[in-house]
Amino acid sequence: MTAAPLNTLIIGQHGQVARELQLQLAPLGTLHVLGRDALDLAHPEQIRQQVRTLAPDLIINAAAHTAVDQAEVEQALAFAVNAHAPGVLAEEAARLGIPLIHYSTDYVFDGRKATPYNEDDTPNPLSVYGRSKLAGEQAIRDVAGQHLILRTSWVYSLHGRNFLLTMQRLLQEKPELRVVADQIGAPTWAATIARSTRALIEHWQAGQAGAWGTYHLTAQGETSWFGFAQAIAAHLQAQGKHCARLVPIPTCEYPTPAQRPLNSRLDCSRLQKQWQVSQPDWQQALIDCLK
């Protein structure tokens, strides 16, 4: 039996995940896409008004204050967008009796664990960004409605501002590039996140939903930022393009306003077990993205 067309509200328009969601979810029904010009997440009354006017079947929050270093000096704005707004969305979703899908981050952890983090590990964010995202998770949980909080990491795509595009440019501009080699994680293509989100929605529509709650959703495998840079360089070199010499450095040689976790690895096995949704290896996803 074909599922009824969905009336979906996507918060976020031009972000990496939001763009991919629009491509993936268009076949499922009507999309209402609200970018920053149509909805300022720092104003709760705007959120409530838009949700009540549109009366969707599903809300997906793909918007956030993601400028990690900037958040250190824009704490009030980061918490308004990343912490308070998700709580308001959760309240409105619960009022309508519909699910909310929300994206969070590996930055809720301090990175001191020796193995990949699972959903039961205690968060301990090191930055304003991480604290604001954790507060957003908790605000959603406090409402206790139907929700999926999907923690991801190291998101990249061919749009926006991200490590892939920055490296592609710098590798061709500079003779030498020093890249951090002691932070470990899984580069995750925005399209992987969007495709997994669609799979979750289709399982829910088919009456095959797993448990609501918090899940980890990243590509499989692991590498460092240096290893990610090497993979990007290899692709450029395969096209006959000259690349900078890559030099691995420790985090202490690349100071930033916000502290980053050294271990950003997330165990995604619970999502596979509960929802039968799995992700590709990060290297294969990078190849698919660059095609």
The answer to whether the CB of 79 falls within 8 A of the CB of 135 is yes
Interatomic CA distance for residues 126 and 118, integer angstroms: 18
| Other beta carbons within 10 Å of 175 | 8
Beta-strand runs (E) in the chain? 6-11, 29-34, 58-61, 100-105, 147-152, 155-156, 176-180, 184-185, 188-189, 213-216, 223-224, 245-249
Known catalytic residue at 129:
yes
Q: Which residues pair with 181 in a beta bridge?
A: none
Q: Which of 129, 156, 215, 254 is catalytic?
A: 129
How far apart are alpha carbons 194 and 220 in whole angstroms? 16
The gap between the terminal CA atoms of the chain, to the nearest Å, is 35
Beta strand pairing status for 223-224 and 184-185?
antiparallel
Residues labelled catalytic = 129
